[in-house]
């Protein structure tokens, strides 16, 4: 009898404890703001930095991320206590399907940062650790622009990187616009500026693009538009800082694969920059209209030796040009043929014409696995977003 009573009391105590627990967790409200279609815009416009986790409840990786994102929000709240500075938010994509469509969410979790109301050009693909998330948010409060005084100071510019160099007579609205665009394009270009009296005869504001001279035959180019016109200046910077032929490495390959365009790749020895320059010049001169049909890139054939071997080649065969359609790889017959006007272009045009057939062949190939007439399988496809980090909405590229 007594035992039953004690047992009953214990049960009662336990359930009271549970109640208290629920109560306190409800009171301890989350530092991550739930965002919906109705309030996204007002949240974006009332906060300088908004870092958004687009998630789905059923996604394992979203579940893993949630407590870390919560910790990051708590951490940032202490570091940036003023309202309107930093906000961490989450969008439940199963419920907010319109927002998920608007931001082309293809996988969970997708992390996107908005700076002054505008989405940054690249989504966050880094580590999902407290430290990495916090540092990423904080990096948006550091200016990306390097100040210089004398033209000789520009000797520090790395010839492997693209840069924009600006002269402002005084800090005004044009300089503010430059600051904003430097933040948007900081991963594509380096930005330099000098504020102060300009030389006699120079305009009060001038901008110069300096290409990655170690890797191209292009030269410095002056901006001839209006430095206060944001659309004009942004499209100039986009055009210069995101060239038709990009250098591809492990830090940017995932994002390129996600665009699902076939790749045209030059595999070269790291020391061989002549073939890089030649390939870029030929593509830029002969195939500018193929932007949007292909992603063009140059890759270090030693770093990507796996792909080179996969085509049945080795280091001593470099340089090699090849299409990776994200299904198969098609080496261009003999690198030297790029110097014969129109040959590479024809190869690329023919390939686009055969894309449909390739899809047919793909179904055939899966039916009769392992035929030796089949081209080597794509090696770049596997470098896209990994199913070990994301729940992918479209498994097949
Ligand atoms: C924003 O909208 C979401 C979804 O409708 C809602 O859950 C959330 O409470 C709202 N947040 C704010 C701060 O108004
Ligand atoms: C929210 O952040 C504050 C300040 O960092 C922290 O004290 C609190 O515990 C956090 N709340 C939750 C639910 O994590």
**DSSP state letter for 259:** T
Residue 80 pLDDT exceeds 70:
yes
* DSSP character string of 332-386: -S-GGGGGSTTHHHHHHHHHHHHHHHHHHHHHHHHHTTT-TTSPPBPSSGGGSS-
Question: Does ligand 1 lie within 6 Å of residue 33's CB atom?
Answer: yes
Distance from chain centroid for Cα 87: 22
pLDDT value, residue 12: 43
Ligand 2 mutation target, pool 22, 74, 86, most atoms within 8 A of CB: 74
24 CA distance to ligand 2 middle (Å): 13
User: Which conformational region is residue 87 in: left (phi greater than 0), alpha (psi within -120 to 50 degrees), or beta?
Assistant: beta
pLDDT in tens, 3-47: 444 444 444 444 444 444 444 444 468 999 999 999 999 999 999
Contacts of 162 (CB under 8 A, 6+ apart): 188, 189, 190, 209, 210, 211, 212, 240, 241, 243
Q: End-to-end alpha-carbon separation of the chain, Å? A: 68
Give me the torsion for CA of 397, 349, 244, 105, rounded to 10°: -20
Atom 3 of ligand 2 has which residue's CA nearest to it? 74
The tokens describing 396, both together, are 């097949």
Number of H helices, E strands in the chain: 11, 17
What are residue 45's DSSP bridge partners? Answer: none
pLDDT, tens only, 337-355? 999 999 999 999 999 988 7
Ligand 2: nearest atom to the Cα of 25 = 13
Residues with CB under 6 A from ligand 2: 28, 30-31, 70, 74, 77-78
pLDDT of 354:
82
Task: Check residues 101 and 370 and name the one with the higher pLDDT.
Answer: 101
Q: From atom 4 of ligand 1, which residue's Cα is the shortest distance away?
A: 36
Q: Please work out whether the CB of residue 100 comes within 6 Å of at least one atom of ligand 1.
A: no
Q: In the predicted model, what is the mean pLDDT of the chain?
A: 90
Ligand nearest to the CA of 25: 2
| H or E element in which residue 66 lies | helix 60-79
Which is the closest atom of ligand 2 to the Cα of 75?
5
Nearest to 210 by CA among 198, 223, 199, 220: 220
Selection from 103, 90, 92 nearest residue 50 by Cα: 90
Query: Which residue's CA is minimally distant from atom 9 of ligand 1?
Result: 34
Question: Residue 320 in 3-state DSSP?
Answer: strand
Q: What is the pLDDT of residues 113-169, one digit of tens each?
A: 999 999 999 999 999 999 999 999 999 998 889 999 999 999 999 999 999 999 999
Task: Give the CA-trace dihedral at 245, 250, 251, 252, to 10 degrees.
Answer: 40
- Helix/strand/coil (H, E, C) string of 93-133? CCCCHHHHHHCCCCEECEEEEEECCEECCCCECCCCCHHHH
Collapsed DSSP state (helix, strand, coil) of residue 396? coil
């Amino acid at each position: 009898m007594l035992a039953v009573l004690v047992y009953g009391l214990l049960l009662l105590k336990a359930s009271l404890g549970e109640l208290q627990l629920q109560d306190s967790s409800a009171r301890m409200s989350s530092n991550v703001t739930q965002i919906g279609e109705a309030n996204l815009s007002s949240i974006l416009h009332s906060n300088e930095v908004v870092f958004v986790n687009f998630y789905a409840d059923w996604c394992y990786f979203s579940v893993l991320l949630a407590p870390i994102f919560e910790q990051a929000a708590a951490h940032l709240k202490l570091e940036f206590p003023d309202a309107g500075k930093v906000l961490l938010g989450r969008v439940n994509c199963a419920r907010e399907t319109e927002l998920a469509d608007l931001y082309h969410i293809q996988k969970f979790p997708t992390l996107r940062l908005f700076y002054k109301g505008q989405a940054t050009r690249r989504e966050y693909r880094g580590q999902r650790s407290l430290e990495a998330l916090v540092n990423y948010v904080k990096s948006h409060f550091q200016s990306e622009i390097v100040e210089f005084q004398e033209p000789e100071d520009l000797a520090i510019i790395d010839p492997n990187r693209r840069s924009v160099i600006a002269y402002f007579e005084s800090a005004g609205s044009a300089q503010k616009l430059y600051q904003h665009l430097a933040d948007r394009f900081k991963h594509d270009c380096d930005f330099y500026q000098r504020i102060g009296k300009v030389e006699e005869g120079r305009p009060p504001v001038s901008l110069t693009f300096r290409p990655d001279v170690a890797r191209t035959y292009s030269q410095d180019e002056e901006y001839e538009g209006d430095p206060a016109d944001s659309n004009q200046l942004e499209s100039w910077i986009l055009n210069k800082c995101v060239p038709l032929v990009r250098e591809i490495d492990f830090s940017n390959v995932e994002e390129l694969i996600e665009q699902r365009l076939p790749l045209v790749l030059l595999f070269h020895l790291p020391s061989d920059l002549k073939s890089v320059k030649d390939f870029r010049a030929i593509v830029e001169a002969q195939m500018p209209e193929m932007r949007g049909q292909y992603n063009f890139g140059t890759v270090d054939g030693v770093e990507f030796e796996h792909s080179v071997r996969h085509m049945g080649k080795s280091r001593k065969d470099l340089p090699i040009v090849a299409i990776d359609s994200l299904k198969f790889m098609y080496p261009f017959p003999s690198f030297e043929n790029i110097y014969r006007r129109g040959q590479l272009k024809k190869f690329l045009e023919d390939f686009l014409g055969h894309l449909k057939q390739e899809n047919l062949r793909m179904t055939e190939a899966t039916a009769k696995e392992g035929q030796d007439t089949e081209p080597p399988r794509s090696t770049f496809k596997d470098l896209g977003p990994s199913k070990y980090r994301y729940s992918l909405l479209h498994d097949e590229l």
